[in-house]
Structure 1
Amino acid sequence: MLPKARYLDFCRTAPDVPVFAQPWYLDACAEGGTWDVVLAEKQGRVVAALPFFQKQKGPFRYVTMPPFVKWLGPYLLPEFRGRLPIEHELMQALIAQLPPVASFKQNFYPTITNWLPFYWQQFRQTTYYTYRLHQLRDLARVAAGVGTGIRRDIRLARQQVRVVHDRSLNEFYRVNTLSFQRQGLPAPYSLPQFQRLDAALAAAGSRQLFFAVDEQDRVHSVAYLIWDSTTAYFLLAGDDPGLRASGAGVLLAWEAIRYASEVLGLDCFDFEGSMLPGVERIRVRFGAVQTPYFYVWKHNSRLFELLEKLKR
Structure 2
Amino acid sequence: MSQEAYRIFCREHPEMPVFFQDWYLDAVCVEGAWGAWVAPSGEKGEAVFPYFFKEKYGFRYITMPQFVKFMGPWQPSPSESLSAHHVLLREGIEALPSFHGFQQNMHYSQQNWLPFYWAGFRQETRYTYLLGLEDLEQVFRGINRNMRRNILKAQKEVRVELVNDPERFFPVSALSFHRKGLELPYSRNLFLRHDASLAEKNQRQIFFATDAQGRTHSAAYLIWDRETAYYHLSGDDPERRQSGAGTLPIWAAIRYACEELGITRFDFEGSMLPEVEAIRRQFGAKQQPYFYLWKYPSRLLQFLQKRR
TM-score (normalised: structure 2): 0.96
- 2:174 and 2:235 in contact (8 A); partners too: yes
Aligned to 1:56: 55
Counterpart in the other structure of 2:73: 74
Aligned-CA RMSD value: 1.5
Matched to 1:200, the amino acid is: S
Q: 1:116 aligns with which of 96, 114, 117?
A: 114
The residue number in structure 2 matching 1:139 is 136
**Residue 245 of structure 1: CA displacement?**
1.2
Give the partner amino acid of 1:22: Q
- Seq. identity, %: 50
- Equivalent position to 1:266, from 253, 263, 268: 263
Structure 1: distance between partners of 2:11 and 2:41: 18
Q: Give the paired residue count.
A: 308
- Alignment-derived partner of residue 222 in structure 1: 219
Q: Secondary structure at the match of 2:4?
A: helix
Secondary structure at the aligned position of 1:76 is classed as coil
Establish whether residue 42 from structure 1 lines up as the match of residue 41 from structure 2: yes
Runs of 4+ in 1 over 6 A off after TM superposition: none
Cα-to-partner distance string for 1:237-290 (whole Å, 9 max, x where unaligned): 010000111111111111111111111111110001111111111111111001
CA distance in 2, matches of 1:15, 1:179: 34
Structure 1: runs of 5 or more not aligned? none
2:222, 2:229 within 8 Å by CA — same for their partners in 1? yes
Which residue does 1:231 correspond to in 2? Answer: 228
Determine whether 1:175 maps to 2:193.
no
Question: CA 1:111 to 1:103, structure 2 compared with 1: closer, same or farther past 3 Å?
Answer: same
2:18 corresponds in structure 1 to 19
8 A contact 2:93–2:116 mirrored in 1: yes
Tell me what 1:195 maps to. 192
CA contact 1:137–1:262 (8 Å) conserved in 2: no
**Cα shift at 1:59:** 1.1
CA contact (8 A) 1:137 1:265 kept: no
| Preserved CA contact (<8 Å) 2:38 2:48 | yes
Note the C-alpha offset of 1:308: 2.4
Please say which of residues 222-231 and 11-20 is displaced more in the overlay: 11-20
Note if contact 2:18-2:24 (Cα within 8 Å) is conserved in structure 1: yes
Three-state SS of the structure 2 residue aligned to 1:141 is helix
Q: What one-letter code is carried by the residue in structure 2 that aligns with 1:222?
A: A
CA distance in 2 between counterparts of 1:207 and 1:76 reads 25
SS of 1:77 mapped into structure 2: coil
Aligned 8 A contact 1:175 1:238 in 2:
yes
Shift of 1:305: 1.8
Amino acid of the residue matched to residue 118 of structure 1?
F
Residues 3-60 of structure 1 deviation map (CA, whole Å, 9 limit, x = unaligned) = 3111111111125211001011111101111111111123399811111111111111
Confirm or deny that 1:241 pairs with 2:238: yes
- The structural deviation recorded for 1:82 is 6.3
Deviations 1:215-252 (A, max 9, x none): 01000001000011110000000100001111111111
- Contact 1:167/1:211, CA 8 A, preserved across alignment: no
